[in-house]
């Protein structure tokens, strides 16, 4: 009882002192009195009184911004020293209420929200944690460090992916420009001019920009895996592969390069896939995993690939991906790989044949005529190639039907080339006669 009376009298004395300093607009004095009150409550371990005093002091008439900021910052240091989880949540909620709508404590509010979301996640309330995090738009905070902003947005994306909210995860991920990870961190920071906002230093627990880059692309791989967007997954792995810390460690870059090769094989044929495929083949490190170099060379070479022999060769490697970084390639990956090989073979056939029978095409693809027709039709619909099917006679024509103008233009071009050759030949004959002084017979 005596201790509680002493605490009350000390708080009353400090409250009077705080009032005098506040009315006199003495920033340092108000700040000191307010923080001393919180310190007394904390030392007495009276958490209820601490919450009351925080709310009481923040609602005082004409309360100074600096005093509120100092109170919130000091009270945040006490969060980790609370006795139980309920007390901790209560203190965080109190500080959140004080910081709500106040631009000068927006960074503190973001950090408090992150703490509360972490507690909710530990309790298994992922949806609540995600909703809490989405209430804060850190991209508008001018004084927050770049790395802290990125880390906060990545946490928002992760929680959305955990609760299978892929639409919101995509929207949030677009708030981060991937170019920000390529910024040169060795450059000295410019000193802010007068009147500009001071950017706070990021807390010690915030990862570096390169670590955040890896986290970002790992989350994007999770997002793209939902829709089996193989080319985007491959690009994400390529970005991870280009991180210096990954390139220097064979235990890290070998599994990542394997994943790049697999997803290039799984991706549908298009200009981007072709560009990435050629760039990967030029990588000297690929020679350290010769089986995968052979796989990519087979895809690039315009020759028919036998699916059974390819699958027998790479089946064990395919299954082994489960134990590598990034886990398995997905449930549909085996079926999609077979489909890509069939598409590759159809493209090869279209290069070598202008007309072919269904029976012969099915033999080359190791499929039934019905399956061959199905895959060919799908490729024609997706505009991957041009073909016409004569079903009664069972003939496929890969030639493009030209109109009369195109035919006449091609004839004119051919005639022009022919006349050029005739002219060059005449010139060479005339040159030889001049050199050897041979008289041409009329």
- DSSP-assigned letters across all residues of 258-304: HHHHHHHHHSPSSHHHHHHHHHHHT-GGGGGSHHHHHHHHHHHSSS-
- As a whole number of angstroms, the distance between CA 117 and CA 159 comes to 10
pLDDT in tens, 134-143: 888 888 877 7
pLDDT above 60 (res 159): yes
- Quick check: 439 pLDDT over 70? no
Could you give the angle at which helices 85-99 and 47-58 cross, rounded to 10 degrees? 0
**Structural tokens at position 149:** 């902003």
The long-range contacts involving 171-180, CB below 8 angstroms and separated by at least 24 positions, are 172/134, 173/216, 173/219, 173/220, 173/223, 175/139, 176/150, 176/216, 178/216, 178/239, 180/146, 180/150, 180/209
Cα–Cα distance measured from residue 228 to residue 79, given in angstroms and rounded to the nearest whole number: 43
| pLDDT score of 184 | 60
Are 103 and 138 in contact, with CB atoms under 8 Å apart? Answer: no
Confidence band (pLDDT; 50, 70, 90) for 330? low
Q: How confident is the model at residue 424 (pLDDT cuts 50, 70, 90)?
A: very high
Region 419-439 average pLDDT: 85
| Least trusted range by pLDDT, from 140-154, 195-209, 325-339 | 195-209
Partnered with residue 389 across adjacent β-strands are: 396
Nearest CA among 238, 242, 287 for reference residue 267? 238
What gap in Å lies between CA 133 and CA 89, rounded to an integer?
Answer: 15
């Amino acid at each position: 009882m005596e201790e509680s009376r002493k605490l009350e009298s000390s708080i009353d004395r400090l409250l009077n002192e705080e009032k005098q300093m506040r009315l006199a607009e003495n920033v340092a004095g108000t700040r000191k009195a307010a923080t001393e009150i919180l310190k007394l409550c904390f030392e007495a371990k009276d958490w209820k009184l601490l919450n009351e005093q925080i709310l009481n002091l923040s609602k005082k008439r004409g309360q100074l911004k600096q005093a509120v900021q100092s109170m919130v910052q000091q009270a945040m240091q006490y969060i980790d020293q609370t006795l139980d989880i309920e007390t901790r949540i209560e203190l965080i909620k109190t500080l959140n209420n004080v910081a709500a709508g106040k631009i000068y404590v927006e960074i503190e509010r973001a950090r408090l929200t992150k703490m509360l979301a972490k507690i909710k996640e530990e309790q298994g309330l992922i949806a609540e944690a995600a909703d809490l995090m989405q209430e804060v738009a850190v991209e508008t905070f001018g004084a927050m460090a770049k790395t802290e902003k990125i880390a906060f947005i990545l946490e928002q994306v992760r929680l959305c992916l955990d609760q299978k909210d892929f639409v919101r995860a995509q929207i949030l991920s677009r708030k981060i420009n991937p170019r920000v990870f390529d910024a040169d961190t060795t450059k000295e920071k410019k000193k802010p001019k007068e009147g500009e906002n001071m950017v706070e230093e990021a807390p010690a627990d915030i990862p570096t920009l390169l670590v955040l880059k890896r986290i970002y692309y790992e989350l994007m791989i999770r997002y793209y895996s939902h829709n089996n967007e193989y080319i985007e997954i491959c690009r994400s792995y390529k970005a991870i592969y280009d991180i210096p810390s990954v390139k220097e460690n064979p235990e890290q870059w070998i599994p990542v390069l394997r994943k790049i090769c697999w997803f290039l094989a799984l991706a549908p044929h298009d200009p981007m896939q072709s560009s990435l495929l050629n760039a990967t083949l030029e990588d000297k490190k690929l020679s350290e995993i010769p089986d995968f170099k052979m796989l990519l060379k087979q895809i690039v070479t315009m020759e028919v690939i036998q699916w059974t022999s390819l699958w027998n060769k790479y089946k064990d490697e395919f299954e082994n991906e489960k134990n590598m970084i990034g886990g398995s390639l997905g449930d549909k990956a085996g079926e999609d790989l077979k489909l890509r090989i069939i598409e590759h073979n159809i493209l090869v056939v279209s290069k070598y044949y202008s007309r072919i029978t269904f029976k012969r095409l099915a033999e080359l693809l190791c499929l039934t005529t019905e399956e061959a027709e199905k895959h060919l039709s799908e490729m024609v619909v997706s505009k991957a190639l041009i073909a016409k099917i004569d079903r009664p006679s069972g003939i496929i024509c890969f030639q493009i039907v030209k109109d009369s103008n195109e035919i006449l233009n091609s004839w004119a071009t051919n005639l022009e080339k022919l006349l050029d050759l005739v002219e060059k030949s005449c010139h060479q004959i005339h040159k030889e006669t001049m050199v050897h002084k041979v008289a041409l017979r009329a």
